[in-house]
Every structure is written in C-alpha cells, then in structure tokens.
Amino acid sequence: MVHYQNTLQARCAARSNTARALGSLFASLAGAVAFAALGLESSARAATVQVYVFEFDFSSSLPTEPITDPTIHVGDTIRWVWLDDHHTTTAALHQDDYWRSDLFDAGDSFEHTFETPGVFWYYCEPHGFDRGDGTAVGMAGTITVVPSPGGAIVASTALLPFMARRRRPTR
C-alpha cells in the first residue's frame, strides 16, 4: 500500500511538472507569436502615399484628376513627388509634427513618416506662407493622420507573457 501511494504521488508530481512546463511553453510561445504579430502588423499596415507637386498645388491625385488631400494612418509615409520645378513642402509651425524639404524640381521626391494623429498643414515656401497659427495659405495642403486600426488589441496581446506567471507548486 505504501509503495502504491508513493508511485501515485510520483505520477501526480510528474503530471503536475509536465503541466507546468507545458503552461510555461505555451505562455512563451504565445508571447513570441504576439510580438511577431505586433511587428508584422505595424510593418504590413504601414503605407507610402504619394502627393504630387504641380501647377502651384499639392494633391494625392494626378494633375488630370480633382485635387485631394490624403488621409493616412499613424506610421504611414507621405512621398511628395515633384512634377513641376521650384517648389518645397514645409510644415506650418505650431503643430505636433514638422518637416521641411529643400527646393526641388520635377523628378525629385521627399518623404516624411507621420507618428502623431492630427491634421497637418503645409505649404510651398516660394508660393505660399505660414499663417503662424498652424495653418497655411497660397500653395498649401493638409495631411490628415488618423490612429492605426487594431493597434491596441495587438499591443495588449503582446503583454500576455509578462502577465502569465508560473504557479508555485503546492506542498
């Protein structure tokens, strides 16, 4: 009878250790998957949107189409592409983001990645001007940056391995 109880206790202890090991492995694996998903989601979702610089205007549409200001997500990049000569793209002051390109000619491009949501005004230095209040006039445009969809869900999932704790064996 004593031998049976010792064998039963040994089997229960072995199963308990196996369960703990599998639980730790699962938590580690879940964490790795969550971090991989976090990295893949942000890189897969990030886009580069072109804004054309032409005829004293900025537009995400080509010159033959109506003038449009782009709306992008946080983490996306705007690439200004010059179709005409002697223009810049410069952010209006008193905003949460700032960029300033050189004076470029047709065939040149300039990129800026947006990390903050908001509506960002910009202008061409020779053909527009900063009004000093976060807006611009003349040859000017806006970039609307909205929060990335689903980022909070993945970020909270990525915290799971840190929240999962190994249970101490009961004695």
- Residue-wise pLDDT for 8-64, tens only, equals 455 545 554 444 443 443 344 344 334 334 444 444 578 999 999 999 999 999 999
- Residue range 143-168, pLDDT digits in tens: 999 999 875 444 434 433 433 333 33
pLDDT at 45: 72
Q: Is residue 167 part of a domain?
A: no
pTM of the prediction? 0.64
Q: Is residue 130 part of a domain?
A: yes
Q: Is residue 157 part of a domain?
A: yes
Residue 65 binned pLDDT confidence (cut-offs 50, 70, 90): very high
Q: Is residue 106 part of a domain?
A: yes
pLDDT at 164: 36
Dihedral over Cα of 35, 41, 46, 162: its sign = negative
Q: How many domains does the chain have?
A: 1
Provide the CATH number for the domain around residue 9. Answer: 2.60.40.420
Tokens of 18: 């196996």
Residues 56, 127 contacting (CB under 8 angstroms): yes
Cα(20)–Cα(26) distance, integer angstroms: 10
Q: Is residue 170 part of a domain?
A: no
Cα(27)–Cα(84) distance, integer angstroms: 56
What mean pLDDT value characterizes the chain? 77
Q: Is residue 86 part of a domain?
A: yes
Cα(7)–Cα(18) distance, integer angstroms: 16
Give the range among 38-47, 80-89, 135-144 with minimum mean pLDDT.
Answer: 38-47
Structure-model confidence comparison of residues 123 and 44, the more confident one: 123
Q: Is residue 169 part of a domain?
A: no
Domain span holding position 52: 1-162
